[in-house]
Structure 1
Amino acid sequence: MEFGVGYFPTHDAMGPGPVAALVEQHGFESIFFSEHTHTPASRRTPYNEGGPLPRKYVHTYDLVVSMTAAALATSRLRVGSGICLVVEHDPIVLAKAVASIDHLSGGRVELGVGAGWNREEMEHHGTDPRTRFALLRERVEAMQQIWTQDEASYHGDLVDFDRIWSWPKPAQRPHPPVLVGGMGPTVEDRVLAYGDGWFPNHLPDDSVLPRWTALRERAERPLTLSVLSAPADPRVLEQYAEAGATRVLRWLPSYPGGGPIERALDEWAQAIADLHGE
């Protein structure tokens, strides 16, 4: 099982490149960046975790820019999206951006995908919340065609284009891993339909583990499990290791100086050492 971090790359905190370099220096496997293109000022949709919306949601750098900066500042770190709100992107443009980062990094991209929870945010991009999961599927499938075919086309109900050429192709074959985010009641169906793995948030009630067991029983191909928001608790990490998780990730604070980030990395490293009995 690998260990990584999640990070909200805000403009007033340590930049995504320096943070990624620090994470790599500490020996971790990956960094995953959050995404919100903007935050609707109406705030009609309540924050999905309850309470007021954290400030960092409003101040993040662009996801693609953050991933590029992290990839160029490191040499072995896996660089991912946690998660990319695909329903807010043109799939042809996003496919080229992801392929470009993967090509430039030598094949180190992991694409966490989801539809998001803020209905006004997706509506501003022309997405109907009622069909967001169908749109998510078609856009991911369209990108997979672009990544793997010299002459790609896609004909769906919501995404439709005739034959196109698009290079570079990703360095990874057949394409960067697609990790389907979410904890909703039908997320397993989305993983099985077009994902290479599941990318849930850790929950204190341990509900991820029985769902992961059931998902693997349904799957006809190997799947990965990457868990975000894990605590620095070796007992929790042991449960995920025993369940066959691929990686677990812990959020780093979005902070301008290195001190709190260094301390969070040290705390994470200590939990991992305790897990291994070191």
Structure 2
Amino acid sequence: MEVGYFTMPLHPPGSDPADTMEADLHQMECLDKLGYKEAWIGEHFTTVWENIPRSGPKFIAAALSRTKNIVFGTGVTCMPNHDPFMIAHRIAQLDNLAKGRFHWGVGSGGFPGDFEVFGFDPSTGFHRGMSRDAIELILRMWEDPAPGQYKHEAWGNLPSLGRCQRSG
């Protein structure tokens, strides 16, 4: 059996962000040494117990540089909270850096405070449609990174992915 790990990660309100970031990275090193197969890192923006959203590619890139075998995943990238063009670039770059040690988890969100701060009424389902559309746009950009624009009512005109392509 393979063992994986999921964390939001939670820290008491008022914790020092630099200290908690270091503690979380050390935790990833320990999981790697213990033989965990993968670690999924959550993303919320408004909970006081999650003082820094960790799902970002920067945290995972830092964790990759400090580990040897464990595979990291976003648990999840809340698609309506991000511009798909930026996510396409960040995820493609992380995929190239990770050399097979990254899984991209996607979702539409679920934390009430995040819905409020990003301006979504969860009862309408609009955020789910945005998630679907963002994923479709990103996949199109990765499949055909030729110059051009990708259009969407929520994001306006999106340029092509350009030179930032996923590996293999």
Counterparts of 2:159 and 2:59 in 1: how far apart (Å)?
31
Moved over 6 A (4+): none
Q: CA deviation at 1:160?
A: 4.6
How many residue pairs end up in the alignment?
156
2: CA distance, partners of 1:75 / 1:134 = 37
Counterpart AA for 1:170: R
Whether the aligned pair in 2 keeps the contact of 1:139 and 1:159 (CA below 8 Å) is: no
Alpha-carbon distance between aligned partners in 2 of 1:63 and 1:165, rounded to the nearest angstrom: 22
Instruction: Tell me if 1:30 matches 2:26.
Output: no
Q: Give the aligned CA root-mean-square deviation in angstroms.
A: 2.5
Q: How does 1:104-119 map to 2 (within 5 A)?
A: 104-119=97-112
**One of 142, 149, 154 as aligned partner of 2:150:** 154
The percent of aligned pairs where both chains have the same amino acid is 22
1:91-142 C-alpha deviation (Å, 9 max, x unpaired): 1111111111111111322111112223442342244532010001011111
**Distance across 2 between alignment mates of 1:122 and 1:101:** 26
The TM-score normalised by the length of structure 2 is 0.77
Map of 1:136 onto structure 2 = 131
Asked whether the 8 Å contact 1:154–1:162 carries over to 2, the reply is yes
Amino acid corresponding to residue 18 of structure 1 in structure 2: H
Task: Report the counterpart of residue 6 of structure 1 in structure 2.
Answer: 6
**2: CA distance between counterparts of 1:142 and 1:106?**
24
Counterpart among 47, 63, 67 of residue 55 in structure 2: 63
Question: Contact between 1:96 and 1:167, CA under 8 Å: does it hold in 2?
Answer: no
TM-score by length of 1: 0.49
Are positions 1:16 and 2:24 aligned together? yes
Kindly provide the amino acid, as one letter, of the partner of residue 3 in structure 2: F
2:83–2:155 CA contact under 8 A, matched in 1: no
Confirm whether residue 164 of structure 1 aligns to residue 160 of structure 2: yes
Task: Tell me if 1:82 matches 2:95.
Answer: no
Aligned AA (2:75): G
Match of 1:94 in 2: 87
Write the letter of the residue equivalent to 1:107.
G
What is the CA deviation profile of residues 164-196 of structure 1, one whole-angstrom value per residue up to 9, with x for unaligned ones?
Answer: 24333222x4xxxxxxxxxxxxxxxxxxxxxxx
1:254 maps to what in 2? none
Provide structure 1 residue ranges, at least 5 long, that are not aligned to the other structure: 40-54, 174-278
**C-alpha contact 2:8 2:54 (8 A) present in aligned 1:** no
Alignment gaps of 5+ in structure 2? 12-16
Task: State whether residues 145 and 153 of structure 1, in contact with CA within 8 Å, keep that contact through their aligned partners in structure 2.
Answer: no
